[in-house]
Amino acid sequence: MTTATMTRTSRETDITVTVLPEDGKTEISTGIGFFDHMLTALSVHSGIPMHIRAVGDTHVDAHHTVEDTGIVLGQALGQALGDKSGIVRYGSAYIPMDESLAFCALDICNRPFLVFRAEFTNAMIGAYDACLTEEFMRAFAFQAGLTLHCSVLYGKNDHHKTEALYKAVAHALAMAAAPSGTGECFSTKGILG
């Protein structure tokens, strides 16, 4: 993986993401506290430092900021992975958080797909709409070229369920993006996609 920066500016959001910044630090600012917490968890648990700065129309709601951040982060990760040769490609993880258990399996394959299975009791977690977790994962997967399956198997506390899910994605991503040691593309076709 190499350093990659992507920017997206629209009438609704202005977002810049750097994956693997030169300072090796994670700095997240989206104006949505719980989302910052989730993105920090994604960065730290994947072992991929990220700078994410997002300014959006949060006076409307968090939807545009969360979804567009997923788009830009996915684009930056896709660029950082290059042609995706020399990586393990597949990853999966179960992550518990107190009473909740989440699972993720992913394939870095240039065939975007999302299967999302999670139910939330409350509409909001702080200023973050719980339903936006699926929107973020879809945008992220489709822009990064991931087949992404993620689910919350059980839990009661929506904060715990959501955080376990982001961390499961992070650990699966760390596994999938790890060097394979061959330098070659893991595909019987010889290419991904």
Tens digit of each residue's pLDDT (9 = 90 or more) over 161-178: 999 999 999 999 999 999
Give the fold, CATH level 3, of 4-176. Ribosomal Protein S5; domain 2 (3.30.230)
Spans of all domains in the chain: 4-176
> At residue 30, what is the residue type?
T
DSSP string, 129-142: ETTHHHHHHHHHHH
Best CA proximity match to 159, nearest among 117, 105, 116, 97: 97
Instruction: Give the pLDDT band of residue 58 (cuts 50, 70, 90).
Output: confident
108: helix, coil or strand? strand
Least trusted range by pLDDT, from 37-41, 56-60, 150-154:
56-60
How confident is the model at residue 185, as a pLDDT? 53
**Which whole number is the average pLDDT over 112-121?**
97
Q: Tell me how crowded residue 56 is: count the other CB atoms within 10 A of its CB.
A: 23
> At residue 168, what is the residue type?
A
What's the residue count for the chain?
A: 193
Tokens in use for 163?
Answer: 């955080």
**In the block, residue with structure tokens 């107190």:** 98
3-state secondary structure 16-60: EEEECCCCCCCEEECCCHHHHHHHHHHHHHHCCCEEEEEEECCCC
Task: Record the pTM.
Answer: 0.93
Angle between helices 132-144 and 63-81 (to 10 degrees): 30
Q: What are phi and psi of 7, to 5 degrees?
A: -130, 145
**Which whole number is the average pLDDT over 135-151?**
98
